[in-house]
Amino acid sequence: MPVSKEEFDDLRALSFRDPDEVLDDDKLYTIYEIARMLQGLDPDADIDTGTEAILLDWAIPWVLTNSDEFVFAEPRADDEPGYYGIES
């Protein structure tokens, strides 16, 4: 349900870091790892499912917005996610 802006004291401009500020250019990451790293967490950080879902809400648009800077690799197995990295 939408809420009024007046309910919040702190409204800030939305800004995203560039991919090369977040990712190593010689590695590939899952969207889950990228989501953690965008929040300053270790890519292997153990987080609960609810938090992970919220972080994905930020990571997916970030990857799409910067898609021209990314390459991807198909999953290594059917039960794994794909991998994304900076195009070199």
Q: pLDDT tens, 11-68?
A: 988 777 899 999 999 999 999 999 999 999 999 999 999 999 999 999 999 999 999 9
Residue 7 has pLDDT above 80, yes or no: yes
User: What is the C-alpha to C-alpha distance for residues 72 and 12, in angstroms, rounded to an integer?
Assistant: 32
73 strand-pairing partners: 83
Instruction: Please tell me what DSSP assigns to residue 40.
Output: T
pLDDT for residue 15: 75
pLDDT for residue 5: 95
Question: pTM of the entire structure?
Answer: 0.83
Determine which helix (DSSP H) or strand (DSSP E) holds 71, and give its type and residue range.
strand 70-73
85 strand-pairing partners: 71
Task: Region of 54 please: left (phi>0), alpha (psi -120 to 50) or beta.
Answer: alpha
- In the predicted model, what is the mean pLDDT of residues 78-84? 95
pLDDT for residue 60: 95
